[in-house]
Amino acid sequence: MNFLPALHTEWMALWRTYRLLMVGVVLLLFGLLSPLLAKYTPELIKLMPGGEAISQVIPTPTIGDAVGQYVKNISQFGVILALLLTMGAVIQEKNRGTAAIMLVKPLPRTTFLLAKFVALALMFTLTIALAGAACYYYTWLLFGALDVSRWLALNGLLLLFVFVYVALTLFCSVVAKSQFAAGGLALFLLFTLGLLGAIPGLGDYLPGHLLTWGSELMMGGSTPAWPAVGVSLALMVVALVGAKLLFDRQEL
Amino acid sequence: MAIIRTQGLQKNYGQVQALAGLDLTVEPGAIFGFLGPNGAGKTTTIRILTGLAHASGGRAWVAGREVTAGDGEIARHIGFLPEEPAFYPWMTPPEFLDYVGRVFGLSATERAARSQELLGLVGLTEVSKRRIGGFSRGMRQRLGVAQALVNQPEVLFLDEAVSALDPGGRKDVLELIERLRGQCTVFMSTHILADVERVCDTIGIIARGRLVIQAPRQTLLARYTLPLFEVEADYGFVTALRTWAEGIRQQQWVQSVSVEGLVARVHVHDVGMAKRALLPSAVQAGLLLRRYEMLRPSLEDIFLRLVGEGASV
């Protein structure tokens, strides 16, 4: 099926075009900054004119603030990076002609798509693991130790959340006629899921709820959100299978 | 047995019919020149034969496998070079050839040897450490030839492979194609007649999505040869040349006459008669001549006759 050569090339592309480095630096930075910002924001506010009064009403930062900051930063920037790095993945190769030159060879279109998804998923796994380790270390230094297994579970849920948007954007990259159209379509899906998530009851079943579950886990709560996990996995599979079915029918 | 065969191949893009029932047969080992004006259906045919596009109707076989079945089996047996080959700009030529070799399932030793051999063949050994992103169009075209040959294909498809190159680059790539004679079947689409005359042994002419004619080059030249005379008048004789051309057009031994500037081209049915009558009639018309010559008809003459004077070549 030639999956390994295709994956190797995708991975090399992420490395040689500095995309892996860029994502690593951005997420690592937010991993490091999240506990620092949580800890020192009240101190920073104190330094501002009139900040003394405001700081008195700000509660003392806790480990929960550090975790909350981390979840917010990594999910937001993870999704933005997922959109930016995935929106051109297929359409650029189709428009440039590299898809045609490779796909007349024994490289199935399914393999071509899957290699792109797996390479991006590997990149986010590696970089979120780095960010998670950095955040864990600084949180431990500034606030105290976190439960390791729950921390791993939170990062797993964050990863799944980002994977959903990688898969959806890959689908958009197959459907759209240009890189920017793919980005626009992916953004539309992102906002649609966000709006649907705000509907009481429905939000518990959507990918956004993964983040709520992750944060609650760290606070000692344990209301599982398996339906959201199931829907997220289903969305990922539907996006990837849909992309494959459409790509198979397209002419290059 | 034919190595490429199409039977009533059709392709529609909405209301536009790009292929209108193409029937084509290419024998193994041929360097087949697929000739036609822009928009005739050459690229569409190649895209269907390589599996990049789907036919709207009809069937096609390459190397004994039906490509219109869409199972992708053909990929192992062909090489393909598009008009403007594209590569990953961050790769070096050996890296790209290695990737292609891996896709074809070659071992590491085979890939290294093949890569070295092909880079030598296309003259890119000296720039093998440079990134492809910095390559000129000619260099990319050479690398395109190399990547199409990694699997030692039974059939090599070249889509306008030399049309955009400068004369030096074109010469080099045509020489490369000539060197492949006997090693594989080459299916070469182009609208440049000189290239076809130079390397192809069999020619197929396509116009408006249909095959107009297919024959060995020599047979085509012999069958459609109409003797041709060129008469070039001296400066200031444009009007006289046109008047004379109108006059001889009525002669029974004349097939057609065309005038362009100071040159009249006269296709004739009867060479003997033309030799006896053409020059005296020009002198009698008071023309002062700079040149009078009997020419060997070219593929261009045949092409224009077959696809119609309106075709853009």
Supply the CATH number for residue B29's domain.
3.40.50.300
Asked if the Cβ–Cβ distance from A9 to B82 is below 8 Å, we say no
Residues of chain A neighbouring B50 (CB-CB closer than 8 A): 104
Nearest-by-CA chain A residue for B150: A105
Question: B5 - beta bridge partners?
Answer: B25, B61
CA dist., res. A252 & res. B47, Å (int): 8
Say if residues B81 and B159 touch (Cβ distance below 8 Å): yes
Residue B288: how many CB atoms within 10 A of its CB?
Answer: 12
Give the Cα separation of B231 and B143 in Å (integer): 46
B53 Cβ partners below 8 Å, 6+ apart? A251, A252, B11, B44, B47
> What SS3 state is found at B254?
strand
Q: How many residues does chain A have?
A: 252
What's the rounded mean pLDDT across residues B53-63?
A: 93
CB contact (8 A) between residue B78 and residue A8: no
Mean pLDDT of A228-249: 95
**B195/B268 same-domain check:** no
What is the distance in angstroms between the Cα of A107 and the nearest Cα belonging to chain B?
6
Q: List the alpha helices (DSSP H) in chain A.
A: 3-16, 19-47, 51-57, 63-86, 91-96, 98-103, 109-142, 148-175, 179-197, 208-218, 226-249
B168 and B256 part of one domain: no
Q: Dig out the tokens for B109 from the structure.
A: 């030793």
In a domain, B262, yes or no: yes
Burial class of B90 by CB neighbour count within 10 A (0 to 12, 13 to 18, 19+): middle
Residue type, B165: L
A96 in reach of chain B (CB within 8 A) = yes
Span B107-127, average pLDDT: 93
ipTM of the complex model? 0.88
- Where a domain ends, among B215, B239, B268? B215
Residues B270 and B195 in one domain: no
* Closest Cβ–Cβ partner in A4, A104, A251 for B75: A104
Model confidence pLDDT, tens digit, residues A74-102: 999 999 999 999 999 999 999 999 999 99
**pLDDT on residue B227:** 77
Q: Are residues B168 and B195 both part of a single domain? A: yes
Report pLDDT digits (tens) over B285-305. 999 999 998 886 667 777 776
For residues A180-205, give the mean pLDDT.
91
Q: Which of A100, A107, A249 sits opposite B82 (nearest CB)?
A: A100
Q: Which residues of B touch A119 (CB under 8 A)?
A: none
Cβ-contact B100, B108 below 8 angstroms: no
Is B182 within a domain?
yes
Query: Beta-carbon neighbour count of residue A179 at 10 Å?
Result: 18
For residues B205 and B232, state if they share a domain: no
What phi, psi does A234 have (nearest 5°)?
Answer: -65, -40
Contact status of A29 with chain B (Cβ, < 8 Å):
no
Domain with B113, as residue range(s), is 4-215
- Residue B268 sits in a domain of what CATH number? 3.30.70.100
Question: Residue B132 domain-assigned?
Answer: yes
Do B45 and B171 sit in the same domain of this protein?
A: yes
In this structure, the answer to whether residues B143 and B16 fall within a common structural domain is yes
Q: Do A106 and B54 touch (CB under 8 A)?
A: no
Nearest-by-Cβ selection for B103 from A16, A106, A251: A106
Provide the whole-model pTM. 0.84
Q: Inter-axis angle of helices A109-142 and A226-249, to 10 degrees?
A: 150
* Contact check, Cβ <8 Å, A2/B51: no
B51 and B180 together in one domain: yes
Asked if residue B77 belongs to a domain, the reply is: yes
- Do residue A251 and residue B54 have CB atoms under 8 angstroms apart? yes
Is residue B169 a part of any domain in this protein? yes
Which pLDDT score is estimated for B105?
Answer: 93
Q: Do B161 and B85 touch, CB atoms closer than 8 A?
A: no
Nearest-CB residue to B88 (from A8, A98, A249): A98
What is the residue type of B60? Answer: A
Q: Taking 50 as the threshold, does the pLDDT of residue A107 lie above it? A: yes
- B151 and B234 part of one domain: no
Taking 90 as the threshold, does the pLDDT of residue A219 lie above it? no
Single residue among B182, B215, B248 that ends a domain in this structure: B215
Statement to judge: residues B154 and B279 lie in one domain: no
Q: Please check whether residue B304 lies inside any domain of the structure.
A: no
Question: A130 with A25: CB under 8 angstroms?
Answer: no
Q: Cβ of A105 and B51 within 8 Å?
A: no
Pair B198, B233 in one domain: no
Count the domains in chain B: 2
With respect to residue B220, please indicate whether it lies within any of the assigned structural domains. Answer: no
Same domain, B211 and B233: no
Give pLDDT tens digits for B172-193.
Answer: 888 888 888 888 999 999 877 7
Match 């004369």 to its residue by tokens. Answer: B167
Q: Are residues A106 and B104, on separate chains, in Cβ contact within 8 Å? A: yes
In a domain, B300, yes or no: no
Q: Quick check: B52 and A102 CB within 8 A?
A: no
CA-angle at B75, arms to A171 and B160, nearest 5°: 90
Contacts of B80 in chain A (CB under 8 A): 101, 104
Give the confidence band of B225 by pLDDT, cuts at 50, 70, 90: low
